[in-house]
């Protein structure tokens, strides 16, 4: 396992994209490889569509020996992106991971950075920002957008929203509940028994001060808009 923290000796930044949507992978490949965006030599070295596949690809490539950065979607099938992030940080600590998602920074950027991500980008980010994030993270830095910086400052200033008190697994259940998944669907996605999911759901409701899934969804919406009270 290499301990290098710089891009490959040729100056090329080798990227692995982990996202289950082909159109997203193709779009990222085009953006990162387009000289019009002022990109350095960026090469998409590998792609993966599930969480386990991301981990397998990184292992097959030898971590930082074979790639310089992972662009990782939060909502991956097979294994949640945040789980994958934690596994990568444990097994390949020198490999930068930039999280990409459609979820707003207020909800997920702080958690991702605290788990060791080198950046968090919304998938709506423009090409220049995407390239800048890859450059900075591959060089060993942390890329923080204005929205992420605001979310970090807000989290420190208010002592954290209730969701920041959730465990990692509780947060996974919270995210899936508030995006319309049923208990059985969540169980299948996370590999948990329905009764176990129901237990996590009860803890989430208690910690967020909500009484049911409707109130929880409204809470998540307010959180995305900058509030946190139920």
**pLDDT, tens only, 177-212:** 988 888 999 999 888 999 999 999 999 999 888 888
Integer angstrom CA distances of residue 134 from 13, 59, 163, 193, 199: 8, 21, 28, 38, 39
Write down the pLDDT at residue 5.
Answer: 46
Write down the pLDDT at residue 4.
Answer: 40
Beta sheet of 42-48, edge-to-edge order:
42-48, 13-18, 69-73, 97-101, 119-122
What integer is the mean pLDDT of 85-105?
A: 92
Residues 185 and 176: beta-carbon distance below 8 Å: yes
Write down the pLDDT at residue 3.
Answer: 37
Higher pLDDT, 78 or 4: 78
**Under CATH, to which class is 13-154 assigned?**
alpha beta
Q: Tell me the whole-structure pTM to 2 decimals.
A: 0.73
Residues 13 and 7: beta-carbon distance below 8 Å: yes
Q: What is the CATH number of domain 162-224?
A: 1.10.10.10
Q: Which residues pair with 71 in a beta bridge?
A: 17, 98
Write down the pLDDT at residue 119.
Answer: 93
Write down the pLDDT at residue 148.
Answer: 80
Write down the pLDDT at residue 7.
Answer: 54
Ranges of H-type helices in 119-193: 127-138, 146-158, 168-177, 183-190
Write down the pLDDT at residue 134.
Answer: 94
* pLDDT beyond 70 at 2: no
* pLDDT beyond 70 at 8: no
Give 105-161 pLDDT, tens digit per residue.
777 888 888 889 999 999 989 999 999 999 999 999 999 888 888 777 766 655 456
Higher pLDDT, 172 or 159: 172
Give 16-68 pLDDT, tens digit per residue.
999 999 999 999 999 998 877 666 689 999 999 999 999 999 999 999 999 99
Domain boundaries defined on the chain: 13-154, 162-224
């Amino acid at each position: 396992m290499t301990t290098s923290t710089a891009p490959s000796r040729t100056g090329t930044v080798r990227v692995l994209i982990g996202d289950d949507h082909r159109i997203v992978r193709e779009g990222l490949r085009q953006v990162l490889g387009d000289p019009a965006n002022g990109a350095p030599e960026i090469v998409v070295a590998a792609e993966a569509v599930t969480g386990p596949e991301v981990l397998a690809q990184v292992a097959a490539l030898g971590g930082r020996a074979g790639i310089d950065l992972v662009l990782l979607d939060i909502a991956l099938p097979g294994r949640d992106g945040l789980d994958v992030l934690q596994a990568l940080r444990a097994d390949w600590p020198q490999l930068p991971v930039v999280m990409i998602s459609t979820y707003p920074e207020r909800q997920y950027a702080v958690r991702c950075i605290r788990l060791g991500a080198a950046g968090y980008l919304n998938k709506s980010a423009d090409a220049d920002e995407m390239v800048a994030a890859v450059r900075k993270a591959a060089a060993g830095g942390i890329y923080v957008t204005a929205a992420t910086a605001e979310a970090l400052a807000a989290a420190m200033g208010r002592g954290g929203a209730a969701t920041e008190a959730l465990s990692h697994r509780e947060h996974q259940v919270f995210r899936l509940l508030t995006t319309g998944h049923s208990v059985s669907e969540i169980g299948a996605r996370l590999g948990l028994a329905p009764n176990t999911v129901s237990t996590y759901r009860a803890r989430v409701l208690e910690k967020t001060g909500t009484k049911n899934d409707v109130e929880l969804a409204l809470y998540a919406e307010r959180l995305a808009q900058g509030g946190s009270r139920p």
